Each structure stands twice: as C-alpha cells, then as structure tokens.
Structure 1
Amino acid sequence: MEWLYPFSVLVGSVVVLMGLGLPVAFAFFTTNIIGLMLFFGGTRGIVQMVSNFSEAVGTYTLAPLPMFLVMGSLYFRSGLGERVINALDLAVGNLRARLSYVTLASGAVFAALSGSSLANAGMLSSLMAPEMLKRDYKPRMAYGPILGAGCLAVIIPPSTLAVLLGSLAQIDVGALLIAGILPGLILAMMFGGLIWFQAHRDPQAAPQYAIAPVASGEKWKAILSNIMPMSFLVFSVVGTIILGIATPTESAALGCAGVIILLVIYRKLTWGVIWRSLDDAMKVTGMTFLIISASMTFSQIFAFSGASNGFIQSLIALDLGYYGIIALMVVTILILGMFMDQVSMMLITLPIFMPIAAQYGFDTVWLGLILLLAFEVGLVTPPFGLLLYVVMGAGSRQGVTLSTVAMAALPYVGVTILMIALIVIFPQLALLLPSLL
C-alpha cells in the first residue's frame, strides 16, 4: 500500500487548495511543486515542469480549441442567434409548452455552432426565461429546457470540452467529436419527450396561449433565411471531418471562415464584433492552456511516484468487472461534479481513468463519450454546477434561487444518466459514426 502516500498527497493537495479558493491552474502548479520536491528529484523536477510548458500547449490537437471559441463568439456577438430563435418560434406553431420546445431546439442548433455550454445557457436564459415566466410557465418548464439545452453543447460537435478531453486523454479528437452526433441528437429528442410528458402531466405548468396566425410562406421564409444557412456551418465543421476532407483543426478554421461569410451576407460584421469575439476566445484559451501545462506535470508525477499504478492494481484486485469499473468511473465523476468544474475533474480523474481503461481494453472514443456525458451532469448539479449560476444570474430579477433551478434540472440529469446507460449497453451508439471515418 505504499502508493497510498503519494496518492493522498497529490490528490489531497489539489482538493484542499481548490477548496480554499485557489484558481485551478495555481492549485495544480502548487501541488506539482510539492510533488516534485517529494517524489521527482527536487529542484531538477522544477526544471522539468518548466520545460513541459511548450510541449503541453504546442500540440496540433489543441489548435481547434481557440478557433471553435472564436466561431461561437462571432455567432453570438453578432446577433445571429436571436434570428434563429425567432425563426424557430415561427416554425413551432401553437403547441402547449411551445416556448420550452423553442428553447430546446435553439439550444441544439447553438450546440452545433458554438461548442460552449455556458454561452448557450447564458443566451437562452437572457432571451427565453423572462418571456416564459411572463407567460406563467412554472420554473421547471422555464429553466429546465435551458439547462438541458445548454448541456447539449458538451457532446454535440464542435464541443470545446471534447477537444480538451481528447487532447488530455490522447483520444482521437476527430473521432470523439463525431461520436457525439448520434447520442446528442437522441438526447435532444429524449429531452423533447420529457417536456411533452411534463406539459401533459401538468397543463398549468406551461399554459397554452393564443398567438397571431402566420402564413406558411412567412414561416418558410424565416426558416430558409435564418436556419438553413446554419447547415452550411455545420457541414463546414462536422461534414468535412466525416467525409475526410479536413482534420478537426482544418474544420475549425473552415467554421470560422463560414461564420465570417454569413456575417458579411447579413451585414453584421463589424470591428467591434471581431474584437469582442477575439477577446472572449483569448481569455478562455489562455486559462485553458495554463491549466493544461499544469496537468502534464501532474500526470508525470502521478505515474512516477507509483500512485497511478498502485491504485490501478488495487482496483483490478477488487475484480469489479467490466460494468463495475465503468459504474465506478461514472459515480466518481457525478460526485466530483457537485463540487468541481469540468476541467478540474478532467485533470484529477484522467491520469487515473485512462491507464485503467488500457488495462481493461476499453475503446477510448466510447469511454471518452461516456465521461463527457458524466461531466455534462456536473454542469447542473448543486452546489457548484456552473450552468445553475448562469441561469440564476439571468433570472435574478425574478428572485430565482439555487434550489429552484436545481429542481428544474433534476429530470434532465435523470435522462442524461439514462443516456449513459444506453451507450454502455449499446456501444454502437457512440462508435457507429466514428467507424465511418
């Protein structure tokens, strides 16, 4: 049990430092210094950590990350997102819970364009939540679809979290992005079924109201002018990867170019939009690359100290079996998700999970998608689910509480866990499309 000492020191230090409020990257850097002094040759290890910086962030697989962020930010900053919502609102018609369906559909479209859960939830919260509450929608029908739609960006490409996971875990980023398409669409339909069930079980939760009739011609005009052009962007990013025309990095560049073309066509391209979009992407990219630099050294220390191998051998000795190991991984992430953000969870768990996956012969793309869905749940679980606070911030004028949005998210958490179980039982849900690459 000699591995328990380095394991406790490394994992315990990270958890304590983040619990004290230290930023994620600095918590890992501090832990790295402690680990290097204890297990990695002292000051010589510090030199190794510094030399890791350029190697960690200079990988080709990370190149799509800033470009996907620029693409999504250009799309939202320009106001094209509002045009899509208005077009979907016309297309849905006079259904019960129509605004909930519009929110979910908008979130699915935005997920295929931005790759950012926080951006999706923030936009939908500010545009849709006030209107739904004004129409006397109950909180679970107003906030639940926003939270569910926001989570779709975790697995529907171009997911920035999938790019990061693939880079950290040495998983084929293109295959991981493509693997999320089919489960993402199924999950969106399952969320739609949940809205239908909630609305019909309690009709007062989403009161039906009269809307002005709209001619079919006007509906089709709105769809063709505001929604169909987005398929051009989806093909630029996803279609080019599937057809083998472009790598994920090249498809990200094509996506940015596609957004710029649309902005020119719609006369929305301004220097202000470009500057704010680049600023958004630069802040997130800088933070992410700093964290990745810290994570590489953490993984090295974890392996060199014997903590990783000792923990793996102890788990194998328990003989939990194929499904038992998967269940243990998912439950671990679900618990951590209540207290940590997704990047922190990745940095702590991947050095442990990926060697275990190699021991058991798991398909890394399949496992990566399961982990992404588990990370997705962490976005909407209290007390630290990031999307909960995004929705609360947008709804502060209505006095929204954490418990209100958490209860609205609960059914969507259950549906996502069901989706994880389906992928475990039917791996082809995740592997069918990547097998076509």
Structure 2
Amino acid sequence: MDWWLTLSLILGALLVLMMLGLPVAFSFLAVNLVGAYVFLGGTSGIEQLVINTTDALTSFTLVPIAMFMIMGEVMFRSGIANDLMDTLDKWFGKLRGRLAFMAVGGGVLFSTLTGNSMGAIALLGSSLTPEMERRGYKKPMSLGPIIGSAGLAIMIPPSALAVVLGVVAELSIGRLLIAIILPGLLMAVLYALYIWGRCTLQPDLAPSFEVAPTPLKVKVEAGIRNILPIGFIVFAVVGVIFLGLATPTEAAASGAVATILLALIKRRLTVDNFKLSMFESANISVMVLLIVAGAVAFSQLLAFTGTTFGMMDAVLALPVNDHMIVLAMVFTVVLLGMFMGPLPIMLITLPIFVPVVDQLGFDTIWFAVLFLLAIETGSTSPPLGAALFVMKAVAPQGTSMASIYKAAIPFLICDFLAIAIIFAFPQIVTVPVGWMFG
C-alpha cells in the first residue's frame, strides 16, 4: 500500500475517534492496536508494539513529568504563588499599567514554578482581572496580558510539555530545557514593551490610581522572604543542569524537594494539602504517560509501515526552499492549535516533522523550540484556543468571547514576532545550548 494511503487511513481514523469524543489517549490506543494488527502481521505485530512501548515508558527520562507536576501542585496549594503576587504588587508601585506588568511578571515567575499555562491563567485571571476592572482597566489591558503571559509556562523551565516533546521526538531533554529559556524571556520582554507602548499612547486603557507608598525596607524584606527562595528553586532545577551537577531527571527531583521544603519552612504545607498535591500530580502524570505511550506506539507504527520515510522523501523532493518547508511546519502547528489541544498536535505531527527537519540538516533542538512557540501561539489563537476558554471561565461575569479574542490578538502578534526572531536568529537557541553542552 502506498505511504500516503496508509497515512490517510491512520490519521483519518484517529481524527474520527477524537471528533466522536473519545479521549486522546484511548484514540491513539485504538488506532495503534488496529494498525499494528493490520499492517504489522496480526498479533505478533501487536506484541512487538507493546514491548517497544513498555521500554519507552520505563525510561528514566519521563520522571521529570511527575516531578514538575508535584512542584506545581505544592506551589498552588501552599499559597506561595499568592505571596509572589503580593511582592510584585509592592515592587511595581505607581507604575502606569502596573497590574498588566504584574501579569507579565507573574507569568514568568509562575512558569518557573509550575510549567502549567492553564493553571497560571486560572490563578492570574481570578486574582488580577477583577482588580484591574475595578481600577478602570479596559478589556485589552485586563485580559490580554494574562492570556499572553500565562502561555510562558510552555517556554520557561520547568515545562512538562517540553519534556513530553523531548520524549516523543527523541531529543535531549536537558538541551531542550536550556534552549527554551531565552525564547521565553524574549516573549516576556515583547509583552512588556507592548504594554508600555500601548499604555503610553492610550493612557485611558490603564488609568493611574493612588497606591499607598511602600518603604524600600518593606520591598526588600518582601523580596527576600518571597522572591529569593524562588531563586533557590530555579537553581535547583536549571542551575544544577547548567553547572553539570545533575541530569534533567535529577534536577526535576531536586526542584520538587526544594519546593516541598520551601512550603514546609513557610508552614504552608499541611498533611491534607500534601496528600492532595500528591494525588493530583499522580493523576495528571498518569494521564500524560498514557498519552506518551500512545505517541511512542504511533511513531513506531508510522515508521514500520514506511509512512515516515515516504513522507520524508516526498517533502525533500519539493521544489521549494528548505527554510520555507520548516516555516510551513511551524504555521501548520499554529493553525492546528486553534482547534486542538497541545498534546494531540504534538503526537500527530512530531513523528512526521522531526525526521524531515533532521534530514534537511537543521538543528532539531532549534526546531523543537519553534514548535513549542507555535503550540503556545495556537493555544491563544481564536476561535478555539484552549487558553481563551480558560480565560472566559475566570473572567468577570459578562465578559464576552469577542472581548477575549480582541484582547488576545496583540499578544498573538508578539508571539509571531518572537517566532520570526528565533527563526531568523537560531543563535538565540543554539548558543546557550552550546555553552552548556559544548
């Protein structure tokens, strides 16, 4: 059977099952089992697929997923995230648009703690948006910064999605976690510049209001009490990798331990909170691992049937510039993100895209960063980006989807600008990785 016909059958069946409402993990499981039986020689093909999937799931590289989930759950349930927002509030003082800048600062800090963009939107949206609107902020400046900034969780370590990408695409997780740091900070800078420019040109979007002056001593004490400990957690995750003291898996474990210790020192981690954090993190981790299992089997199914190589040969034969092929892949991910969640997009496209990128001679880590950026962009893109609906759920009553769409668009433009910069200057990704890994 021709590769394109095999691919059409497999992808078609997968999409039909998803549209029927079957969970992603079970959709992949069904397609993988039937595909293995049909294309790989009956029950022997299924047995081989199970063996290969089991080997993939017992890999040590998957441990960071559970560790990062524990970090996020403990942070939110211990109230440490709220301490961060209070400290930022003191630091920004009377700055025009201070609450919008707090959303960006909070997005960066929560990203280093949780790696969960939807959780960050829920927390920032429920805590900041009502206060913004009470202070007279217009929708573009009360909703947009939160939608944009919360997506930084995908782009700043620890990022569970980056770990999943590394496993599915068979890339170095350590290199990937280091590679996304500068792109994530670049996005935060672009958001902050937009907010400053828009508030300067249209002051009515973010009216200034009286803020009780905070003495420098209080600011410093709050920073030492609430921000400095976070620096130790960031070091426990990223710093130990930079210094070569730990592997990504060990670093994730040290980050989880550091987070629990911080919650204990602050006397915020009760027995009930700890139990709930462990249960929720285990629950989410199992769901992610089920999806990873489906992705690994799906990749092997495409490879064994010759679909991957057929697709690769067809793309390489196209009479277009190699850079245009990569750009087309990136924008395909953005378009899919308007209608699908991040994990299904990764599982469907990565087994096809990564071999092609590698064959074209591009740095696969650089492409992986662009891929994550595109996923973040797609998740905040109208009409069906998941982040937009989470924002709707926590926004003040009466907020329309049209208002959310309009508020998200400027930050989408910032995302596209970040994609263009990283596409044009791969050194933003490759140089830090080169410093770290030689």
Same fold (TM over 0.5): yes
SS at match of 1:433: helix
Give the Cα separation in 1 of the matches to 2:400 and 2:43: 49
Give the Cα separation in 1 of the matches to 2:3 and 2:401: 39
Aligned to 1:414: 413
> Is the 1:3–1:311 contact (alpha carbons within 8 Å) kept by the matching residues of 2?
yes
Aligned to 1:66: 66
Letter in structure 2 aligned against 1:104: V
| 1:47 and 2:64 matched | no
Letter in structure 1 aligned against 2:9: V
Aligned to 1:123: 123
> Is the 2:316–2:360 contact (alpha carbons within 8 Å) kept by the matching residues of 1?
no
| 1:233 and 2:238 matched | no
Matches for 1:379-398 after TM superposition, within 5 Å: 379-395=379-395, 397-398=396-397
Greater CA deviation, 75-84 or 194-203?
A: 194-203
> Is the 2:168–2:351 contact (alpha carbons within 8 Å) kept by the matching residues of 1?
no
Give the Cα separation in 2 of the matches to 1:15 and 1:353: 18
> Is the 1:52–1:293 contact (alpha carbons within 8 Å) kept by the matching residues of 2?
no
Give the Cα separation in 2 of the matches to 1:297 and 1:216: 57
Q: TM-score w.r.t. structure 2 length?
A: 0.97
Aligned to 1:174: 174
Q: Post-superposition shift, 1:138?
A: 1.2
Aligned to 2:398: 399
Aligned to 2:427: 428
SS at match of 2:207: coil
Give the Cα separation in 1 of the matches to 2:126 and 2:136: 17
Q: Post-superposition shift, 1:271?
A: 0.9
Give the Cα separation in 2 of the matches to 1:219 and 1:342: 39
Aligned to 2:262: 262
Aligned to 2:27: 27
Give the Cα separation in 2 of the matches to 1:299 and 1:43: 19
Aligned to 1:203: 203
Letter in structure 2 aligned against 1:103: A
Q: Post-superposition shift, 1:17?
A: 1.4
Q: Give a deviation string over 1:65-116, Cα, whole Å, max 9, x none.
A: 1001101110111001101100100100101111000111011011111111
> Is the 1:137–1:206 contact (alpha carbons within 8 Å) kept by the matching residues of 2?
yes
Aligned to 2:94: 94
Matches for 1:101-250 after TM superposition, within 5 Å: 101-250=101-250
Q: Post-superposition shift, 1:45?
A: 2.1
> Is the 1:67–1:252 contact (alpha carbons within 8 Å) kept by the matching residues of 2?
yes
Give the Cα separation in 2 of the matches to 1:270 and 1:51: 41
Give the Cα separation in 2 of the matches to 1:290 and 1:182: 31
Give the Cα separation in 2 of the matches to 1:183 and 1:434: 12
Q: TM-score w.r.t. structure 1 length?
A: 0.97
Q: Post-superposition shift, 1:250?
A: 0.8
Q: Give a deviation string over 1:119-140, Cα, whole Å, max 9, x none.
A: 2111111111111111121111
Query: How many residues are treated as equivalent by the alignment?
Result: 436
Letter in structure 1 aligned against 2:435: L
Q: Can you give the 5+ residue segments of structure 1 that lack an aligned partner in the other structure? A: none
> Is the 1:337–1:345 contact (alpha carbons within 8 Å) kept by the matching residues of 2?
yes
Letter in structure 2 aligned against 1:424: F
Give the Cα separation in 2 of the matches to 1:315 and 1:280: 42
Percent of paired sites with the same residue: 41
Letter in structure 1 aligned against 2:288: T
Q: Give a deviation string over 1:307-364, Cα, whole Å, max 9, x none.
A: 2222211111113222111111111101111111111001100110111012111112
Give the Cα separation in 2 of the matches to 1:368 and 1:28: 22
Alignment root-mean-square deviation, CA: 1.4
Q: Post-superposition shift, 1:424?
A: 1.4
Q: Post-superposition shift, 1:50?
A: 2.9
Give the Cα separation in 1 of the matches to 2:26 and 2:400: 31
Q: Post-superposition shift, 1:434?
A: 1.1
Q: Can you give the 5+ residue segments of structure 2 that lack an aligned partner in the other structure? A: none
Letter in structure 2 aligned against 1:435: G
Give the Cα separation in 2 of the matches to 1:318 and 1:348: 22
Q: Post-superposition shift, 1:201?
A: 2.4
Letter in structure 2 aligned against 1:126: S
Matches for 1:305-320 after TM superposition, within 5 Å: 305-320=305-320
Aligned to 2:291: 291
Letter in structure 2 aligned against 1:202: Q
> Is the 1:151–1:376 contact (alpha carbons within 8 Å) kept by the matching residues of 2?
yes
Give the Cα separation in 1 of the matches to 2:319 and 2:281: 45
Q: Post-superposition shift, 1:384?
A: 2.9
Give the Cα separation in 1 of the matches to 2:400 and 2:53: 41
Greater CA deviation, 133-142 or 75-84?
A: 133-142
SS at match of 1:320: coil
Letter in structure 1 aligned against 2:331: V
SS at match of 1:111: helix
Q: Post-superposition shift, 1:214?
A: 1.6
Give the Cα separation in 1 of the matches to 2:391 and 2:149: 12
Letter in structure 1 aligned against 2:170: Q
Give the Cα separation in 2 of the matches to 1:48 and 1:139: 54
SS at match of 1:128: helix
Give the Cα separation in 2 of the matches to 1:307 and 1:103: 45
Aligned to 2:339: 339
After TM superposition, the runs of 4+ consecutive aligned structure 1 residues lying more than 6 A away are none
Give the Cα separation in 2 of the matches to 1:362 and 1:60: 27
Give the Cα separation in 1 of the matches to 2:34 and 2:409: 39
Q: Give a deviation string over 1:11-41, Cα, whole Å, max 9, x none.
A: 1111221122111011111212332233111
